[in-house]
Amino acid sequence: MRYVELAELYNRLADTSKRLEKTDIIADFLKNTKKEDLENVVCLLNGRVFPLWDSRKIGFSSRLLIKAISSATGSSVDNIEKELNKLGDLGDVAELEISRKSQKTLFSETLTIKKVADNIRRLSDMEGSGSVDRKIGLVAELITNSNGTEAKYISRTVLEVLRVGIADGIIKDAIAKAFDQEIKTVDEAFDILADHGEVALLANENKLGDVKLKPGRPLKLMLAVLSKSIEEGFSAVGTPAALEYKYDGFRMQIHNDGKKISLFTRGMEDVTKQFPDVVKAVSKIKGKNFIVDCEVVGYEPKTGKYLPFQKISQRIRRKYDTEEMAKQFPVEINAFDLIYYEGKKLLSNRFEDRRELLKKIIKEIPREIVLSKLLITDDDKKVQKFFKESVKSGHEGVMFKSLGAPYKPGRYVGYIAKLKEVMDALDLVVVKAEWGEGKRASWLTSYTVACKDGDNFLEVGKVSTGLKEKFEEGELDNFENMTNELKKIVVSQKGNAVMVKPQIVVEVSYEEIQKSPTYASGYALRFPRILQVRYDKPLNEISTIGNVEELYKSQNK
């Protein structure tokens, strides 16, 4: 398939804000896509060249893209930067510069879907001397052979921000409609496979019922709904319920495929290299292959006291000196669920049965690997006591779990609820940043943050406090490191501000939520402050506009 067909589809999608219309447009396109192009098309429609579970990164910055556009069009870097300040989007700049070229390059080739996907994928594999020039060359080759529309979307794809208003939900609905499948079946397949392209291929072949769990390949984890009281917790999951501590660590899925142990965050990032101590502890679990759901919690090595998440969060980012980091910031595995064991997926098994099997295969070693604290009850007073014990131990609160519930990957299904001591902080994503002034002039120090509304992100305010000025290697919780990370995901700029790919999640406290016409959400945070950067939190778990509205109403009661 020619890439121009997909580029023209992007334009059609950008021209409508109606979700159903977008779904119909994509579904019709997929029906007419050849089988050999289907996986690439669906992946590219989502603005990606790798499936969600694949940890490879394109790693192509806006600075490199400027050089690639310059190489492909003959326009100077200075001129491209001037146009960027006017237009605010490098995709639009690429389209403009291609249209200004006096003639098509001699022997130019027609771009195909496969060619575009292959070139962009190759960017992730290039390292070492001369790799930057080779990366620029691969993207420049695509832009050179493109028309204006193609150049616009190639540029946006390498930056991983398409700006055509499509996301997971629309893609899944379109797959279901194109291949006459139940939306629920498509959803369930995607939550296990985390690959839109593979789901589309299976849907086309009517094989969604054949989806299998694969140890070594991460899946989406089951999610908990938020409860405001013990009564709400019981109401969500039923009585009696299993109560567990809600740990102030980070969620981890542990895979053993029989040959290798792999560790993934809730966002499916591979962190095996960063946690050699966890790999060692997990090797003692009985069984040839398994997938364990757990929370990894840090503790003070001298006192054994549990530590809050931010104290150990830097281990997620550190890919060198991991043994030394393990000594400085040791962790304890708190296992609470078993998803797969000895060749069998346990998704449909009752929670109490999965927990009983987990108990049999784990020999507890305090401060290394243990089972999560568990209480089965229907008594409010016992829950209150359990809650206080959890908080006193340094944790966040308690989890309510339905004893008879199956495991539903990627879902807020009402089988799990959480009750926290502090409930008014919001998990928000950075969508824009501004350069500082004075001694902060070399840093991005003011961050516009947004909540989630379905497939969209709605701004709720700016935050510029909470991060340290002092540089600390391996952490994002200072201005210099935050700036370095944000610069990698810049997608456009205008004046003093840069728009970034929604990727970095921050936990934000505030004094009050106010009604405001300034932001798309209709709300603004008064005196917001960053509490911590949530390296482990994926976008589908950030606070929603519904959460913001609830908190606004509750503060006014």
**Helix 168-178 vs helix 35-45: crossing angle, to nearest 10:** 150
497-500 and 505-509 as β-strands: parallel, antiparallel, unpaired? unpaired
The dihedrals phi and psi of 370, each to the nearest 5 degrees, come to: -140, 170
**Cα 255 from Cα 248, distance rounded (Å):** 22
Q: Match 């379109």 to its residue by tokens.
A: 174
Residues in the chain: 557
> What is the C-alpha separation between 386 and 86, in angstroms, rounded?
58
What is the rounded distance in angstroms from the CA atom of residue 426 to the CA atom of residue 450? 10
3-state SS assignment for residue 369: strand
Assign domain 223-420 to its CATH superfamily: DNA ligase/mRNA capping enzyme (3.30.470.30)
Give the CATH superfamily of 3-158.
DNA ligase, ATP-dependent, N-terminal domain (1.10.3260.10)
Which residues are catalytic, by number?
246
Q: Closest by alpha carbon to 339, among 253, 415, 223, 268?
A: 253
Collapse the DSSP code of 270 into the 3-class scheme (helix H, G, I; strand E, B; otherwise coil) and give the result: strand
CATH superfamily of 426-555: Nucleic acid-binding proteins (2.40.50.140)
3-state helix, strand, coil in the chain (%, to 5): 40, 25, 35
Domains in the chain: boundaries: 3-158, 223-420, 426-555
**β-pair partners for 296:** 250, 333
pLDDT string in tens for the chain (557-residue length): 999 999 999 999 999 989 999 999 999 999 999 999 999 999 999 999 999 999 888 989 999 999 999 999 999 999 999 999 889 899 999 999 998 875 555 557 899 999 999 999 999 988 888 999 999 999 999 999 999 999 999 999 999 888 898 888 899 999 999 999 999 999 999 999 999 999 999 999 999 988 999 999 999 999 998 888 999 999 999 999 999 999 999 999 999 999 999 999 998 999 999 999 999 999 999 999 999 999 999 999 999 899 888 778 888 877 788 888 899 999 999 999 999 999 999 999 999 999 999 999 999 999 999 999 999 999 999 999 999 999 999 999 999 999 999 999 987 777 999 998 765 789 999 999 999 988 888 899 999 999 999 878 999 999 999 998 876 665 668 898 899 889 988 888 888 899 999 999 999 999 889 999 999 999 999 999 999 898 888 888 899 999 999 888 887 65
> Any residues with CB less than 8 A from the CB of 235 and at least 6 apart, and which?
227
Contact assessment for residue 204 and residue 332, using Cβ atoms and an 8 Å cutoff: no
C-alpha torsion 413→416→419→423, nearest 10 = -40
Is residue 281 within 8 Å of 334, Cβ to Cβ?
A: no
Please, what sign has the CA dihedral across residues 84, 86, 88, 94? negative
